[in-house]
Amino acid sequence: MSRKRTRIISLGADVSIQTLATNAYPDQQPGTSGLRKKVSVFQQSGYLENFVQSIFDVLDGCTGQTIVLGGDGRFYNREAIQIILKMAAANGIGKVLVGQNGILSTPAVSCVIRKYHAFGGIVLSASHNPGGSDGDFGIKYNIGNGGPAPEKITEAVFARSKGITQYKISDAPDININHLGTSRIENMQVEVIDSVADYAEQMQQLFDFDAIRNMFKRGFTMRFDAMSAVGGPYARKIIEDLLGAPRGTVLHGIPLEDFGGHHPDPNPVNAEELIALMDAPNAPDFGAASDGDADRNMIVGRKLPVSPSDSLAILAANATVAPGYKKGITGIARSMPTSTAADRVAKSLGVPCFETPTGWKFFGNLLDTNQATLCGEESYGTSSSHIREKDGLWAVLFWLNLQAATDKSVNTLVAEHWAKFGRNYYSRHDYEGIDTVKANALMDRLRNKLDSLKGQKLGSHVVAMADDFSYTDPVDGSTSSKQGVRIIFTDDARIVFRLSGTGTVGATLRVYLEKYEADPSRHNLPTQTALADLIAIANEIAQIEAVTGMTQPTVIT
């Protein structure tokens, strides 16, 4: 692949902007949360540069503007930041705010964009995907509201990437991003900012830090597993320094390029160390974890991992305990596969509950127009209108505030919620690494069955409706189709099938299973036992074993 200088604009004896020839790559279509590939793919000549140039090419009015830049610290983060800084200067960006050491959590990027009214931001992360030299890398663009770019922008970037022939970059030396301060590349100012300060300031405005601090003084104990990822510095600063929790409360708090070998996805399977700690006889009062870029969270009571769907519903039902939400909420938004537990809370509060496709970008318009205050996805993502990303530490602080305000444990809060609203038994079964052709064929066969399913009795359940979920944004009228196959039964049980948009190898089939139980005497069954009949129905109707050869899911959460 040729790389030759085709034009040089001289800006001094030793510094110039270069326009370099390049060949397009065909595989740069962003998924649910940006472009994610193996590190080795991004290290190909011009691969990162092509995608970054495509972003700048489709952004109208970015000349002279301020953008935010940072990532989760995974392998290739530092090299990518230097490339992007030099390309931003060459493309006329006026100023870049970059996190110290290249570190900015995804929610912190959103916070900084909004606080400083930046034009947008570039986030370097593959979120919960494994890191290291043989792991994954990712990049996405966030718009001026702080949220992920909508589909009209990501589609334009992809279209541009398929026809790109050149990119612009400065040949200036690397910037020192280890120390706070300002410097220049060409005519662009680079300001290295404290990675944590702005985010920590915002959290103090939302939650009752005095009440939480007093709870720790009374002997309250917790463990926060940062999974050797970017959430560590944020948790140490806020939980240990500002809230006064003892040193050692934050586990694996130093970000590492390979996440210390962790799979930085906060669920009971990958956060097994935390789960074992919370299952022990001398367990702390509270457990929590965040993922690679600190936008996901897991909440754990003693011997009780809280499902993300329940977490969203419980926070919504108790939102007014936190100072930032004392006036109540305007609405709730959840992704379609997320359980309907939040719908029941919304009904009791007299506010709407919106059902959107998977992907945080679909919440942006609802938040911007104040139609929703709290949002959540079943994949351990929860947040609110304070930013336009999911926010792992925010959710943990909300749970701390709730426990401080009520003097109740996680287990008590969950039990009381189920007693009032009923329990939505819920689980996700992931089948990973499926051949893409086979995975698409499985989904196509499911879609072909939809019209004949209504009224059928499957096991002990009768199908009320079956469809391929589509969404029309109530604000801008944009539509998104083929967002997942839903089978909804007359007793409110549900089975949902969709292919994941966040993997980098093969396809991942996600099967979501949900059953509502109103009877409190049946609220303590093992989840997989309660869902056993739906699991059998899902396997039969989709012919998972016959198509994939897999007799069991790769991961159950």
Cβ contacts of 155 within 8 Å, gap of 6 or more:
none
**R_g of the chain, CA atoms, integer Å:** 23
> Number of C-alpha atoms within 13 angstroms, CB side, residue 527?
16
Helices (H), 318-351: 341-349
Residue 124 and residue 77 in contact, taking contact as beta carbons nearer than 8 Å: yes
Instruction: Report the C-alpha gap between 434 and 454 in whole angstroms.
Output: 29
Instruction: Report the C-alpha gap between 479 and 468 in whole angstroms.
Output: 13
- The residue annotated as part of the active site, out of 110, 127, 309, 339, is 127
Q: Following DSSP, what letter does each residue of 225-280 receive, concatenated?
A: E-TTSTHHHHHIIIIIIIS-PPTTSEES-S--TTGGG-----STTTTHHHHHHHHS
Look up 127 and say whether it is catalytic: yes
Burial 221-231 (b: 16+ CB within 10 A, else e): ebbbbbbbbbb
DSSP strands (E only) in 148-241: 166-170, 181-185, 188-193, 222-225
The counts of H helices and E strands in the chain are: 18, 28
Edge to edge, the sheet with strand 250-251 lists 250-251, 222-225, 286-290, 297-301, 304-306
Q: Report residue 110 as tokens.
A: 């959103």
The greatest distance separating any two alpha carbons of the chain, rounded to the nearest whole angstrom, comes to 79
* Dihedral angle over CA of 360, 366, 369, 372, nearest 10: -110
Question: What angle, 0 to 180 degrees and rounded to 10, lies between the N-to-C axes of helices 47-58 and 77-90?
Answer: 40
Q: Following DSSP, what letter does each residue of 91-102 receive, concatenated?
A: TT--EEEEEEEE
Instruction: Report the C-alpha gap between 314 and 332 in whole angstroms.
Output: 12
Instruction: Report the C-alpha gap between 339 and 199 in whole angstroms.
Output: 29
Residues labelled catalytic: 127
